Chain A
Amino acid sequence: MAIGDLAFLIPLLPALAFVLTFFLGKKLPNGGAIIPIAAIATSFVISLLITLNLLQNPGEVITQSYSWFAMFNLGILVDPLAAVMLTMVTFVSLLIHIYSVGYMSHDRSQSRYFAETALFTASMLSLILSDNILQLFISWELVGVCSYLLIGFWYQKPAAATAAKKAFLTTRIGDVMFLAGIVILFSDLFKIFNGTIPDGVFIMRFDEIFAHIPELAAMNANILGMEVSHITIITLLFFGGAVGKSGQFPLHVWLPDAMEGPTTVSALIHAATMVTAGVYLVARTFPMFIAAPDTLLVVAYLGAFTAIFAATMGIVMNDLKRVLAYSTISQLGYMMLGLGIGAAIGAEAVGMSIFHLINHAFFKALLFLCAGSVIHAVGTHDMRQLGGVAKVMPITAATMIIAALSLAGFGIPGTIFGTSGFFSKDAIIEGAYLFGESSGMWIPYVLSIVAALLTSIYIFRLIFMTFFGKPRTDYGGHESHASMTIPLSILALLALFFGGLTSRRFNDFVSETFGNNFVNMNIPELAEMGGYHLAAHVGHEPVLILWMPLIVAVAGLLIAYLIYGLKVVNMDNLVSRNNPVYKLLYNRYYQNAIFTDFISVKIIYEGFAFAVRSIDRGFDWVVNWISDVTIETGDSLRQFQTGVIQTYATAVVAGVGLLIVLIKVIMEVI
């Protein structure tokens, strides 16, 4: 039996673990953590075997699909893209689950935690495995629900409940766009088939969708006097969904607030599952994106802007986890940028972006778990109260520094020496350079290189403030338990070496996604349809460009060291409420004021909700009126039931008398 036949077990086992843990968890030690751990470990082994098999036999893409209803199907598709994602998700999720055993050991709702994380993992895995867009959407929504449950895990805390709601509603905006895209896609495909779909053709399956890209591109809609191709609309709507899920610029507001959940949940959301879903969606439907004029440019610009936008806010945050949250947004921006530059380099962009996604998963999970370890031991996540933690928690400090190096992107260009983050981020920045070179649009490159500098500054600021210097307050810290440090060490090894070992191979492997027996796309041809001119491969840039990311990374490290390590610059003047720039950044560009206080409260709540409420009141009145009349009628009618037998007798006699008279009269008339 081929290992591919077991692919369906990958999401099924965690889902089963969810059911078991949910019902039996309370009776087992550690909240039944062993069930999801075992399930996800099995899934990991299966995914790893599938990936290795695919590496050796590139053609053996696993496709299974079963008719669901009408022209829809349920199925699984494991191509290189899905395989690496599966392996990464199961692996990171497994480590986080093991780590959680220690981290959540004091929580009373452990079993609920493990059940929900198992469901979360299961939904994400089924999202990755989907071979049609409808199934992907269902899993997408499931992921959203689970994130709601997990962010609001400590629902007793009002902040957590609010954050959960915010996350759910914000991503929902994206979800609605995604759904709208699916609906348009469906109706277009239906039109292409002239409404008669042959048996065995499932029109929402990716191969079917991709096969009809030329027809989709030929359809035009007239929006505000502009001729817009349908494929542009669809891809923009899909990207809207990805913006919501992956925390890109206008819809990123939920991500920092999502820190209200347990730190392990943050690690799970930010590293392995939720936020990567958006990137995965764009990568999965990349042939559509590259065939759509201008969509990829939007992706690139928005990604680059998000990268720098979030990085600036990361610099001023004082909360350990919030810095990491903004870092996640920034890195997701990089991933989107990586996809966007597919406009210049074609399918290789998917490889680069997913490569960064995987590396990011490793070092971001590591960063979060380290932060969790610090928080668990010290009991605070305000960096101003920390300092000198490295002395009491050497393993955590060491692993966190490795993660920071990886995030900042330290490595020597042209060799295999370097952290994982270096290889992937470098590739994206160089891709952005090529993008600028071929199209003349340099803004993404400039933004990405500045963001790289800022990344380095904020992450080393975090390191210096937390782990070095003198303790600023008294705290009793101790190194965490082995169940927490071992996952940290494993992740640290990966964050250091994974990129270097796989760099070139990985790109080629993932780029094969769109050239196999299931989906066979001619990417350059599609790019022509979208009006893009593909450049040559990465690696022909000037030397300065190759070294630039490293230079800015080192520069960031030095700046952070000077300011926060040696304190040569007195920050007190700069960091004050009177400094307008600091104020702007600290208040996060007043997004809260704009999004929450203005748009949500003023427009949605007070304006729109009022109108809806008035209509609702109208319906209420009608409904209440009907019920009132019924109640009053009944009230008066029930007075007939006096409970006195004479009354009933009287009524019977009177009734009989009247009946007889009536019959008599009728008989006479007849």
Chain B
Amino acid sequence: MLNKEITFNPMKILTSAYHFFRPRALGITVAFLFLAVLMVSVFFTSWPSVDQLPQNLEDPSNIEGIGVMIFTDFVVPFEILSIVLLSSMIGAIYMAKGDDAQ
């Protein structure tokens, strides 16, 4: 199996390519259209950015900063998120248990 002879048969490749692309033609077309549009937008837009990335060689991590922000500025979304997580967990378990719940 491993030493299966690899032959180059352009006709066969084209045929298999055709059979691969034929049912996916619409999806591929749409995806490429979308990709092209986005790529054009991305590369022809001047994004705002700082000139120099902040560098802190002693502590390259920004975990501390993120933690502080979560518990100060964004504590309300954080709490809400915890409730969402809990309820989705309960819902998922309830649904996944199915009929033998009782």
A and B touch in the complex (CB under 8 A): yes
Alpha-carbon gap, A654 to B26, bound state (A): 10
In this assembly, does A52 line the interface, its C-beta being within 8 Å of a C-beta of chain B?
A: no
| Interface residue? B34 (CB, 8 A) | yes
**Which residues of chain A are within 8 angstroms of B31 by Cβ–Cβ distance?**
653
Chain A, 188-232, contact with B by CB distance < 8 Å: what is the 0/1 string?
Answer: 000000000000000000000000000000000000000000000
Partner of A657, one of B26, B27, B34: B34
Contacts of B34 in A (CB 8 A): 653-654, 656-657
Residue of A nearest to B32 (CB): A657
Most buried by A among B26, B30, B37, B40: B30
Q: How far is the CA of A653 from the CA of B27 in the complex (A)?
A: 10
> Does A631 interact with chain B (Cβ within 8 Å)?
no
The interface bits of chain A over 630-670 (1 if a CB of B lies within 8 angstroms of the residue's CB, else 0) are 00000000000000000000100110111011001000000
Instruction: Give min CB distance, B10 to chain A, whole Å.
Output: 32
CA distance A664 to B27 in the complex (A): 23
Q: Which residues of B contact A658 (CB under 8 A)?
A: 33
Query: In whole angstroms, how far apart are the Cα atoms of A195 and B11 in the complex?
Result: 94
Main DSSP-derived SS at the B contact region: helix
How far, in angstroms, from A661 to B33 measured CA to CA in the complex? Answer: 9
Query: Which residues of B lie under 8 Å from residue A657 when comparing CB positions?
Result: 30, 33-34, 37
Complex: chain B residue closest to A656, CB-CB: B34
Minimum CB–CB distance for B27 against chain A, Å: 7
8 A Cβ contacts from B31-56 to A: 31, 33-34, 37, 40-41
Give the distance to chain A from B14, nearest Cβ to Cβ, in Å. Answer: 26
Compute how far the CA of A657 lies from the CA of B26 in the bound complex, rounded to whole angstroms: 14
Q: Which residues of A contact B41 (CB under 8 A)?
A: 660
CB <8 Å contact, B37 and A650: no
The docked-state distance in angstroms from the alpha carbon of A656 to that of B33 is: 10
Chain B contact residues (Cβ within 8 angstroms of A): what range?
under 10
Decide: A650 and B33 in contact? CB cutoff 8 A: no
Query: B40 to chain A: which residues have CB within 8 Å?
Result: 664
B30 shortest CB reach to chain A, Å: 5
A661 in contact with B37 (CB, 8 Å): yes
> Please, which residues of chain B bring their CB within 8 A of the CB of A661?
33, 37
Tell me which residues across on chain B come within 8 A of A660, comparing CB atoms. 37, 41
Interface of A is mostly: helix
Per the bound structure, the CA–CA distance linking A658 and B36 in Å amounts to 11
Chain A residues closer than 8 Å to B37, beta-carbon distance: 657, 660-661, 664
Question: What CA separation (Å) do A657 and B30 show in the bound complex?
Answer: 8
Chain B residues whose CB sits within 8 angstroms of the CB of A664 once the complex forms: 37, 40
Q: How far is the CA of A312 from the CA of B27 in the complex (A)?
A: 93
Contacts of A656 in B (CB 8 A): 34
A232 to B47, CA, bound (A): 98
CA distance A664 to B33 in the complex (A): 14
In the bound complex, how far is the Cα of B27 from the Cα of A650, in angstroms?
A: 7
CA distance A664 to B40 in the complex (A): 10
Q: How far is the CA of A277 from the CA of B34 in the complex (A)?
A: 84
* A477 shortest CB reach to chain B, Å: 80
Closest to B30 in A: A654
Among A653, A656, A657, A658, the most chain B Cβ lie within 10 Å of the Cβ of: A657
A650 to B41, CA, bound (A): 20
Please, how many angstroms separate the alpha-carbon atoms of A653 and B40 in the complex? 16
How far does the Cβ of B100 sit from chain A's closest Cβ, in whole Å? Answer: 29
Residue of A nearest to B41 (CB): A660
**How far, in Å, is A548 (CB) from chain B's closest CB?**
105
In the assembly, what is the distance between CA of A661 and CA of B26, in Å?
18
Q: From A658, which residue of chain B is reached at the shortest CB distance?
A: B33
Residue of B nearest to A650 (CB): B30
A664 to B34, CA, bound (A): 14
Provide the bound-state CA to CA distance between A661 and B37, in Å.
7
Give the distance in Å from the alpha carbon of A38 to the alpha carbon of B30 in the complex.
Answer: 84
Q: Tell me the smallest distance from the CB of A385 to a CB of chain B, in Å.
A: 81
CA distance A656 to B38 in the complex (A): 11
- Shortest Cβ distance from A655 into B: residue: B30
Shortest beta-carbon distance from B66 to chain A in Å: 33
CA distance A331 to B26 in the complex (A): 90
Interfacial residues of chain B within 1-37, with CB under 8 A of chain A in the complex? 26-27, 30-31, 33-34, 37
> Which residues from chain A contact B27 at a C-beta distance below 8 Å?
650
B30 neighbours in A (Cβ, 8 Å):
650, 653-654, 657
Q: Which residues of B contact A650 (CB under 8 A)?
A: 26-27, 30
Tell me how far the C-beta of B42 lies from the nearest C-beta in chain A, rounded to whole angstroms: 12
Question: Complex Cα distance A658/B29, Å?
Answer: 12
CA distance A599 to B101 in the complex (A): 82
Q: How far is it, in angstroms, between the C-alpha of A657 and the C-alpha of B40 when the chains are bound?
A: 12
A514 to chain B, nearest CB (A): 92
Q: Tell me, in angstroms, the Cα distance from A656 to B35 when the chains sit together.
A: 12
CB of B29, distance to nearest CB on chain A (Å): 8
How does the 8 Å CB contact mask read for B55-88 relative to A, with 1 for contact and 0 for none? Answer: 0000000000000000000000000000000000
| Residues in B neighbouring A653, C-beta threshold 8 A | 30-31, 34
What's the Cα separation between A658 and B33 when bound, in Å? 8
- Chain B nearest CB, measured from A235 CB (Å): 82
Q: Which of chain A's residues has its CB closest to B34's CB?
A: A657
Counting from the closest, the 6 A-B pairs by CB-CB distance are A657-B33, A654-B30, A657-B34, A660-B37, A657-B37, A653-B30
Known: A657-B33, A657-B37, A661-B37. 14 other contacts (CB 8 A): A650-B26, A650-B27, A650-B30, A653-B31, A654-B30, A654-B33, A656-B34, A657-B30, A657-B34, A660-B37, A660-B41, A661-B33, A664-B37, A664-B40
A-B contact pairs, 21 of them (CB 8 A): A650-B26, A650-B27, A650-B30, A653-B30, A653-B31, A653-B34, A654-B30, A654-B33, A654-B34, A656-B34, A657-B30, A657-B33, A657-B34, A657-B37, A658-B33, A660-B37, A660-B41, A661-B33, A661-B37, A664-B37, A664-B40
